[in-house]
Amino acid sequence: MILNVDLHCHSNVSDGTLTPAAVAARAKANGVDIWALTDHDEIGGIAAARAAAAELGLPYVAGVEISITWAAQTIHIVGLQIDETNAELVQGLAATRGGRERRAHEMAEQLAAVGIPGAFEGALKHVGNPDLISRTHFARYLVEIGRCADTSEVFRNFLTEGNPGYVPHRWASLEQSVRWICGAGGVAVVAHPGRYKLSDLAFDAFFNEFKQLGGSAIEVITGSHTPDQYGYYAKVAADYGFLASRGSDFHSPSESRVDLGTLPPLPDSLTPVWHNW
């Protein structure tokens, strides 16, 4: 039997729009067999997610998606099967979240300079967790005021490198993120590798360093990959001996292209990250 496994999605504890319980219910309704909530830099939704999953009889895995900076790029590392009470993980994530408010004020200043005042307060209205203000919340505000038709249009014109509202940020290191995850008993997974703009040479260095630090998996089937990239990263997983993960990266019923539990299965040739769970 092929299990429908979804190990990457977001609630309103980070930049999703649904509560952890509502995401659990949606996963169950969509036929997911094993589910992980992976909010950005935040474990505050885990208790509610676990309780809702238990109520639904939905097998649940504690997860997180950590923002890191590597070679001046923002990269995301997912941690699965983590002990969310681990002190070093808790402190590391708190420190990672710490810079977000200052960054958000700078983003708002840049937007004000191009004629969009009040974006900090505007974004804050969309925030479910004041500790986690993200670019997505600014994007929702720009849609709300009619400046852009949808959040994709926002990210093409604002908040990204070279555009107003982009504030470069130094996140955790690769070494820290893998140490926090593995130290908490978890498995470290490179999120949506197809989204990063790295040369083949840089990718090779990145995957080798990740593996050497104790990282063991990459996402192959994700809502952030094109079907061509499924094949490409299946080969990468095989070449480097990584386990393979699958996750929608669902954020919102109205914004996300891919819903929970609706992606194709992993290619048969790969070892799923959940093989021994």
H helical segments located in the chain: 20-29, 46-56, 87-98, 100-113, 119-124, 135-144, 151-157, 174-183, 200-213, 227-240
135 binds, among ligand AMP, Mn ion, none (CB under 5 to 8 A by kind): ligand AMP
191 or 237: CB nearest Mn ion: 191
Does 100 bind Mn ion (CB under 5 A)? Our answer is no
Q: Are 141 and 123 in contact (CB under 8 A)?
A: yes
67 binds, among Mn ion, ligand AMP, none (CB under 5 to 8 A by kind): ligand AMP
Q: Exactly one of 96, 151, 229, 248 binds ligand AMP (CB under 6 A); which one?
A: 151
Q: Interface with ligand AMP by CB under 6 A: which range of 1-9, 111-119, 150-158, 184-192?
A: 150-158
| 238: DSSP letter | H
- Residues whose CB is less than 8 angstroms from the CB of residue 46 and which lie 6 or more positions away in sequence, other chains included: 20, 37, 62, 84
CB of 262 to ligand AMP, least distance (A): 18
Query: DSSP for 161-208?
Result: TTSTT------B-HHHHHHHHHHTT-EEEE--GGGS---HHHHHHHHH
Binding residues for ligand AMP restricted to 37-66, rule: CB under 6 A: 40
Structural element, H or E, at residue 41: none
d(CA 248, CA 260): 6
58 or 66: CB nearest ligand AMP: 66
Per-residue mark of binding to ligand AMP, 183-222 (x: CB under 6 A) = ----------------------------------------
Does 147 bind ligand AMP (CB under 6 A)? Our answer is no
* Interstrand relation of 243-247 and 187-190 (parallel, antiparallel or unpaired): unpaired
169 or 211: CB nearest ligand AMP: 169
CB of 247 to Mn ion, least distance (A): 8
Binding residues for ligand AMP restricted to 113-142, rule: CB under 6 A: 134-136
76 or 147: CB nearest Mn ion: 76
25 binds, among Mn ion, ligand AMP, none (CB under 5 to 8 A by kind): none
Output the CA torsion sign for 125, 126, 127, 133: negative
Does 15 bind Mn ion (CB under 5 A)? Our answer is yes
Residues found near Mn ion in the complex (CB under 5 A): 15, 65, 76, 191, 249
